[in-house]
Amino acid sequence: MKKLMTMLALFMSFCMVCAPMAQAETMKSLRGSEAVKGDAPSENYRWEKDRKPLPRQFVQQPPLIPHTTKGYLITKEFNKCLDCHSWDRTADTGATKVSITHFKTRGGTELTNISPRRYFCQQCHVPQTDAKPLVGNTFKPADGLVK
């Protein structure tokens, strides 16, 4: 039994060390130019200047963020976005109010504050940018959204 446990421990150690190395070598970006280096924006990412929001392309699309979010702090104790977008601050800031849908639980119960599942804004909302597509596509906006 002791020998089996030792062998299992050695095998697991090998897997923990070697598997991530092998995976990193085979992962490529969609552009195919370099290996993926994690979730952090690369040094080539260009933060856009503030501008008017871009139109939505499909019915349930979360609005894009029309300003930089560089350095915005969002933790479980603090959300920088709510400094301007909370309902009690929008009159002073001129920012768009957080949608009423963000105050409901998954079961539909209305809350007095932002729902925990909607609290981390950049899970759905991303800064807009004029980036070239990673791959070609033939997407067309929803007919009801075309002006």
Q: Which residues are annotated as a binding site for heme c?
A: 67, 81, 84-85, 102, 121, 124-125
Q: End-to-end alpha-carbon separation of the chain, Å? A: 72
Q: Is the separation of the CB atoms in 7 and 28 below 8 Å? A: no
Residue with tokens 């993926």: 36
DSSP state of 102: G
- What is the distance between the alpha carbons of residues 88 and 133, in angstroms, rounded to a whole number? 38
DSSP state of 44: T
Binding site feature residues: 67, 81, 84-85, 102, 121, 124-125
- Please, where are the H alpha helices in the chain? 2-26, 82-85, 90-93
Residue with tokens 């976005």: 81
